[in-house]
Amino acid sequence: MHYSIELMEKEHADINRMLKVMQQYSIRIMHGEEIDQEDFKGIIDFVRNYADKHHHGKEEKSLFPLMVERLGKLADNLITHGMLVEHELGRSHVRALEEALKVYKETPTDEIRLDIITEAMGYAHLLSLHTEKENSVVYPFAERMLSEEDFAKVDAYCRRFEAEEDTKGVQKKYLSFLEEMEKKYIQ
């Protein structure tokens, strides 16, 4: 397995850990636990900056464009009309979750609590299916069909990107936050 694919699958595992946190937190909210705006702010930050910007950014700027360029119509359909659409659907759930949290702060009704749970679980469900699809279909397809030269480019991009993010402390920040949320919401 190439460095970039191994890295992206590891990030999927981290993202799925946060999805489990979101599920368990949603269950608590469903049972009446008060909504912690700061925890949700942190979860949204993780989703936007680790899952989306950090992880999806590598896919969208390196792996996916190369797949579309090199692998033709099948890759174009899989990436453009599949994976990228799902990335946008995830972003939509996050925007709606953020909006529901703002409304709840001003008007804490059961309907808005339900909106919060719905958007959090909509995102978690979508991303869970999405990561499984990438791990079992998209990445193996790329591994089989892209050349070693192509993967050398993707791997080099990912190594540079990871090094830059590491100097900013991105991985450490978000993985530490993930561990904190797991301790708080997963027994």
Supply the range of the domain harboring residue 80. Answer: 3-185
Looking at residue 185, its pLDDT comes to: 96
CATH of the domain at 159: 1.20.120.520
Name residues of the chain where pLDDT drops below 70: 187
Looking at residue 164, its pLDDT comes to: 97
Give the end-to-end CA distance of the chain in Å, rounded to a whole number. Answer: 34
Domain count, the chain: 1
Looking at residue 168, its pLDDT comes to: 97
> Could you tell me if 58 and 4 are in contact, meaning their C-beta atoms sit under 8 angstroms apart?
yes
Looking at residue 48, its pLDDT comes to: 98
pLDDT over 90, % of the chain: 99
CA 147, chain centre distance (Å)? 27
Query: Minimal CA–CA distance to 37: which of 96, 132, 103, 118?
Result: 103
Distance from C-alpha of 48 to C-alpha of 126, rounded to nearest angstrom:
15
Looking at residue 12, its pLDDT comes to: 98
Looking at residue 160, its pLDDT comes to: 98
Side-chain half-sphere exposure of 10, counting CA atoms within 13 A: 11
pLDDT tens per residue across span 34-75: 999 999 999 999 999 999 999 999 999 999 999 999 999 999
Residues 6 or more apart whose Cβ sits within 8 Å of residue 108: 35
